Amino acid sequence: MVDYQPLSEQPPLILAIDLGTSGPKVALVSISGELVASTSQPTQLRVLPGGGAEQDPEDWWRSITEAARRLWRSGHNPSRVVAIGTTAQWAGTVAVGRDGTPLHPAIIWMDTRGARYIPALVGGAVRVQGYGARKLARWIRRTGGIPSLGGKEPLSHLQWLRHERPEVYTGAHMFLEPKDWLIHRLTGRFIATYDSIALHWVTDNRNIDRIDYDQALLVAAQLDRARLPDLVAATDVVGSVTPRAAQDLGVTTLTRVIGGTPDVHSAAVGSGGIADFDPHLYIGTSSWLSCHVPSKKTDIFRNMASLPSALPKRYLLANSQETAGACVAWLRDAVLWPRDALDTPAAPPDALARIDALAHDVTPGSGGVLFGPWLFGERCPITDSTLRSSFTNVSLSTTRAQLCRAVLEGVAFNGRWLLGCAEHFVGRRLDTIRMIGGGANSALWCQIHADILDREIAQIADPVQANARGVALLAAIGIGVLTPTDIDALVPTSARYCPRSSLRRRYDELFRGFEELVRTSRPLHARLHNIDTAGDGGTHAPRS
């Protein structure tokens, strides 16, 4: 179904493509950032034994074109589209031939299969946090970070291809981020943006005005510059739509395409919080708590750094927690309405609203039940691919409703953990946190976050469209009709949620229990992971 909001005027439009893990959202956005229409289409995710996570890029493109054509069938005129902005899941790898055809399924940000090859690249005789001290200093000084030992980044993917799929690795003409593969499909150009390439850890980011590949880092990472794309800014117009792409999408070949940006960066713009230290919290499949910052900085002990922003000449605090909204989807699909031998009825269309309603009637604190939301390990503030979820303090009196609320609260406790680390990074309190992503559609979850984080939460209007709005605003900057200073006024807030002082002591005590749960469960999960990891595998198509 297409969500449609008629406008009194009919200005030019921007087609915003937001490729998430569960599939793309495609939206029409006015050049002033107003959402005109949007639709989505699911794609399949294959979770494989041994930490694999793959998707089919051609499936991405089919879903994007079907979603776009659904917009035209609903009555919108594609000739009004003057530009296309693309944002997508970050830290993935698509190996392609000379014509851009994928040679292997896309290895996405969840994949950890290459982690075992990273220590050989980053180790040394004297180690700090598992890294060779000299290599650590060089990488951080130039990039702001260093390849993750957890393996959920492109360098790990490329090492896995090199060792496990050598025919793909040697036969590839180029290795692209998911967003940058879409840019090639749209324009025929092989490019990356300064922000999308950052997690390859091979660019010198010290001078925000002159970012480029660093030869010493390319050698250290064992990467060939010739097989990495040229770099442009996220707001640069990189070309027009090719005839093939125009036919697939139903737009004209005059439509301009900007460089685009990863989802973390488009969310920052779409939240409206573009001033330094103006925070936003994203709750989608994963989550992050971020803000723009004035300079390059790294915290290796909390696994976060400031990296190039999508906005020109700006840095953005980069961090990420692996599973947030995914925890609620797991609760729905694996616990409450699973497809298994018990013949449970299929999840109803309003399943998430029912979970919300169940949780709403539970006393804050969920009867003391704690949920650790680490269904696929964790990235920040610690990197631990073996950390796993659990319900703690469950008794015979625990209700299904309490479990539902415990999941919502567990994600918020994880966010509080991250908030403390982000505030340490920026050296100040972060308040009035803008909340975006699908999770922000829930008034209950916004209030839970306000209470647990002890911060005012500003619920951004159309929060699930923050990424699409953000990349559309970047496109408007790219074609010269907006400037970055216009953005804040163009992003409305729908509601504000204040922390309730009556709950502060209770949630403080529960958060201390949450921190203890992290400390005590990590060694156990590591041992269990080493016994048998085969249960992590399987194939499924996420339901939307």
Is the domain of 323 the same as that of 237?
no
- Model confidence at 529, in pLDDT bands (50, 70, 90)? confident
* Residue 168, token pair as written in the block: 């793909």
Range of the domain at 111: 3-259
Asked if pLDDT for residue 2 goes beyond 80, the answer is: no
Mean pLDDT along residues 340-351: 86
Is the domain of 395 the same as that of 493?
yes
Is the domain of 312 the same as that of 251?
no
pLDDT of residue 361: 95
Which residue in the block uniquely carries the two structure tokens 């993917």? 157
CA distance 274 to 277: 8
CA 381 to chain centre: 16
Secondary structure (DSSP) of 103-168: SSPEE-TT--TTGGGSHHHH--SSEETTEEHHHHHHHHHHHSS---TT--SHHHHHHHHHHH-HHH
- Model confidence at 541, in pLDDT bands (50, 70, 90)? very low
Percentages helix, strand, coil for the chain (3-state, rounded to 5) are 40, 20, 40
- Domain end point (choices 220, 239, 259): 259
Is the domain of 191 the same as that of 274?
no
The full 3-state SS of 23-64, as one line of letters, equals: EEEEEEEECCCCEEEEEECCCCEEEECCCEEEECHHHHHHHH
Asked if pLDDT for residue 538 goes beyond 90, the answer is: no
Is the domain of 473 the same as that of 506?
yes
- Domain end point (choices 216, 236, 259): 259
pLDDT (tens digit, 9 = 90+) per residue, 148-158? 888 889 999 99
pLDDT of residue 370: 98
Asked if pLDDT for residue 4 goes beyond 50, the answer is: no
3-state secondary structure (DSSP) of residue 370:
strand
pLDDT of residue 533: 54
385 or 266, greater pLDDT: 266
Q: Going by DSSP bridges, is the β-strand pair 81-88/13-20 parallel, antiparallel, or unpaired?
A: parallel
pLDDT (tens digit, 9 = 90+) per residue, 225-242? 999 999 999 999 999 999
Closest C-alpha to 157, from 98, 199, 100:
199
- Model confidence at 539, in pLDDT bands (50, 70, 90)? very low
First CA to last CA across the chain, in angstroms? 12
Residue 416 lies in a domain: yes
Mean pLDDT along residues 242-268: 96
Residue 543 lies in a domain: no
pLDDT (tens digit, 9 = 90+) per residue, 162-177? 999 999 999 999 999 9
pLDDT of residue 339: 86
**Overall domain count for the chain:** 2
Residue 411 burial by Cβ neighbours in a 10 Å radius (0-12, 13-18, 19+): buried
- Model confidence at 444, in pLDDT bands (50, 70, 90)? very high
Residue 265 lies in a domain: no
Is the domain of 232 the same as that of 100?
yes
